[in-house]
């Protein structure tokens, strides 16, 4: 059994089965919908993604809360009290203050527990891009790598985690300030779909546009040819906000075009989905750069 625990937050969107298999600690983030606060657990015990997106389609909007210092402290300290060290791999600081809370908590607890190791890493990743990095780190831990070796590997490789995605409805990006109201209206009328990624600062940015849904999916798939590092040997990740058919299309195409053998598909959880809306689909892979 490892002497350290990998902690992350539920914006990683990893399937509950993988969380259990890799013995990860996942701090559930909060979202508020229709006046009620829910926690986004990996097993979706408080609200399933399907229910969440149905509510969004009905016109209910959700807001989200970052992890605060108290929550971060409790999550890390629970591990330290077991006599184990803690490696935190947190949601991008370019999209949330969650990492900042984890870092403050880690610094405080390192003083309180001088015999324990506590490290917090800003993944600069989101959704299953973050999940992919956590997955890779956990696999290294299984191979016997030390907490410092895994931490250093994450720091060295996090900017090779490629995030490419598109959305079907520009309204939610407008709500989050990612596109203007005019762009949302015109784009919707003309069936213009944004092709977006997460950049080296962990920010969400629009890179290109495509005319129609299928064209936007193909644009994402093409990025593997442009950026991918030995795609056939990778485990790739695809997530979707209640559009499994599109996720499966990307999976089939990636397998056919690039010889990828292992792909993990999972829904986008409510915390990320509050900002994407239904109809978002994302492909994550390791590349030469983002």
Domains of the chain, with CATH numbers? 4-158 (3.40.50.10170), 160-286 (3.30.1180.10)
The pLDDT tens digits of the residues spanning 220-255 come to: 999 999 999 999 999 999 999 999 999 999 999 999
Quote the pTM value: 0.94
Distance of CA 258 to the CA centre of its chain: 23
Q: What is the pLDDT of residue 186?
A: 60
Secondary structure tally for the chain: helices H, strands E = 11, 13
* Greater model confidence, 100 or 185: 100
Backbone angles phi, psi at 97, to 5 degrees: -90, 10
Token pair 């809306």 in the structure block, residue: 277
pLDDT tens digits, 138-178: 999 999 999 999 999 999 999 999 999 999 876 766 665 65
């Amino acid at each position: 059994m490892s002497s350290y625990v990998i902690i992350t937050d539920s914006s990683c969107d990893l399937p509950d089965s993988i969380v259990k298999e890799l013995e990860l600690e996942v701090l559930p983030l909060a979202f508020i919908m229709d006046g009620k606060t829910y926690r986004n657990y990996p097993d979706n015990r408080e609200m399933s993604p399907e229910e969440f997106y149905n509510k969004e389609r009905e016109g209910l909007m959700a807001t989200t809360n970052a992890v605060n210092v108290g929550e971060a402290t409790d999550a890390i300290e629970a591990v330290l009290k077991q006599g184990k060290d803690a490696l935190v791999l947190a949601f991008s600081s370019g999209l949330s203050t969650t990492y900042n809370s984890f870092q403050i908590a880690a610094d405080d607890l390192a003083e309180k527990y001088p015999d324990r190791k506590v490290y917090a890493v800003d993944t600069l990743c989101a959704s299953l891009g973050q999940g992919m990095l956590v997955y890779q780190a956990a696999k290294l831990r299984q191979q016997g790598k030390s907490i410092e070796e895994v931490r250093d590997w994450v720091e060295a490789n996090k900017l090779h985690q490629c995030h490419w995605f598109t959305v079907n409805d520009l309204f939610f990006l407008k709500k989050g300030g990612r596109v203007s109201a005019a762009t949302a209206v015109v784009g919707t009328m003309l069936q213009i779909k944004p092709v977006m990624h997460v950049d080296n600062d962990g920010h969400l940015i629009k890179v290109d546009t495509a005319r129609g849904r299928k064209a936007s999916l193909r644009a994402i798939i093409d990025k593997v040819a442009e950026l991918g590092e030995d795609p056939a040997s990778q485990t790739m990740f695809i997530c979707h906000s209640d559009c499994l058919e599109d996720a499966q299309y990307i999976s089939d195409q990636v397998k056919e075009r690039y010889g990828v053998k292992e792909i993990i598909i999972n829904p986008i959880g409510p915390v990320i989905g509050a900002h994407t809306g239904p109809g978002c689909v994302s492909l994550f892979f390791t590349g030469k750069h983002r």
